[in-house]
Amino acid sequence: MKSLTNKRILLGVSGSISAYKAPDIIRRLQDLGADVRVVLTAGGAKFITELSLQSISKNQVHHNLWDKEAELSMGHIELAKWADCILIAPASANIISNIASGKANDLLTSTLLASDAILMIAPAMNQQMYKASALQNNLALLKAHGTNIITPNSGVQACGDIGLGRLPESSTIANQVAAQFQTTRLSGKRVLVTLGATLEAIDPVRFISNHSSGKMGMALVNTCIEMGAQVTCVYGNISTPLNDKATNIQALSAQQMHRSVLSQAHQFDLFIACAAVCDYSVKNPFEQKIKKNGENLILELVANKDILADVCKLDQRPLCIGFAAETHNTLKNAQLKLKNKGCEAIILNDVSTSEIGFNSDENQVVFISQKQQKNIAKNSKIKIAKNILKTFIKEFL
Supply φ then ψ for residue 250, to 5 degrees: -85, 135
5, 54, 64: which is closest to 26 by C-alpha?
54
Alpha-carbon distance of 24 to 169, in angstroms, equals: 9
Report the catalytic residues: 159
Instruction: Give 374's strand partners.
Output: 367
Alpha-carbon distance of 199 to 209, in angstroms, equals: 5
213, 215, 219, 214: which is closest to 231 by C-alpha?
219
CB–CB of 368/338 below 8 Å?
A: yes
Residue 242 CA to its chain's centroid (Å): 10
Q: Show Cβ contacts of residue 233 under 8 Å, excluding neighbours closer than 6 positions.
A: 193, 194, 195, 217, 218, 221, 242, 243, 246, 247, 248, 249
Alpha-carbon distance of 353 to 70, in angstroms, equals: 47
- Write the CA distances from 26 to 21, 54, 84, 259, integer angstroms: 9, 10, 15, 41
CB–CB of 284/300 below 8 Å?
A: yes
Instruction: Give 127's strand partners.
Output: none
